[in-house]
Amino acid sequence: MMLPRLEYIKQARVRLGITQRKLAALTGISTSMINQIESGRCKPSYETARKIFEVLSSLEGRSSMKAGDICSRWPISVQKDEKLHKAIDVMRVNSISQIPVFDSSRVVGILTEDGLAKVMLEKNEKDLKNMHVFQVIEPPPPIVDVSTPAKALVPLVRFAKCILVSEKGNVIGIVTTTDTLKMVE
């Protein structure tokens, strides 16, 4: 089997956004060897080069992942008219820090731990018991199609608390920062 040119190693590594140290760890080759190969100071054995190209190829395959591949399907959600304390219980029981809020089947906002903390500072316990979800929701998170490249979600999820994933206009999943880590497993 003929391998690509050695110059491709650095190009592919940079395009994938991984460091020499990470590539070394993934291939079992030392970081200094990767550095020497990329700088042209060393010609690797066929086996070493093949191992590097196999790892890069598998990583590039992962970079073709889509939002639908990494989202958590059928996200837990609440309706806007539900009592706030019930929504908090749902979040607590499921160990989630944000939860999409719907009005029937339409996304109208998101309930987050941060938003709840602010409300809890401002209100007394009695007020909280009588509040509804719609009184404390934040604007809805971005919604992307299942076919959106997963790589495009990383910068988006850094600024939004989560991203909802839709298919044919219906929300079918949620992507959190933790879900984006599936791209590097």
Beta pairing partners, 111: 99
Q: Identity (one letter) of the amino acid at 7?
A: E
Q: Which fold has domain 67-184?
A: CBS-domain (3.10.580)
State the residue for tokens 């030392």.
30
Q: 119 phi and psi, to 5 degrees?
A: -65, -40
User: In the CATH scheme, what architecture does the domain 7-62 have?
Assistant: Orthogonal Bundle (1.10)
Q: 182 phi and psi, to 5 degrees?
A: -60, -20
Q: Tell me the residue length of the chain.
A: 185
- The Cα-based distances of 73 to 64, 76, 87, 112, 167 in angstroms read 19, 9, 19, 19, 11
pLDDT (tens digit, 9 = 90+) per residue, 81-136?
999 999 999 999 999 989 999 999 899 999 999 888 888 888 776 777 789 999 99
Contact in structure between 51 and 27 (CB atoms under 8 Å): yes
pLDDT (tens digit, 9 = 90+) per residue, 137-174?
999 999 999 988 887 787 788 788 789 999 998 999 99
Contact in structure between 94 and 82 (CB atoms under 8 Å): no
- The Cα-based distances of 173 to 13, 95, 108, 165 in angstroms read 30, 17, 15, 5
User: Cα–Cα distance between 82 and 104 in angstroms, integer?
Assistant: 12
- Axis crossing angle, helix 31-39 with helix 7-16, rounded to the nearest 10: 120
User: Cα–Cα distance between 37 and 95 in angstroms, integer?
Assistant: 46
**pTM of the model as a whole:** 0.62
The domain locations on the chain are 7-62, 67-184
Q: Which pLDDT value is given to residue 184? A: 61
H or E segment and range at residue 2: none
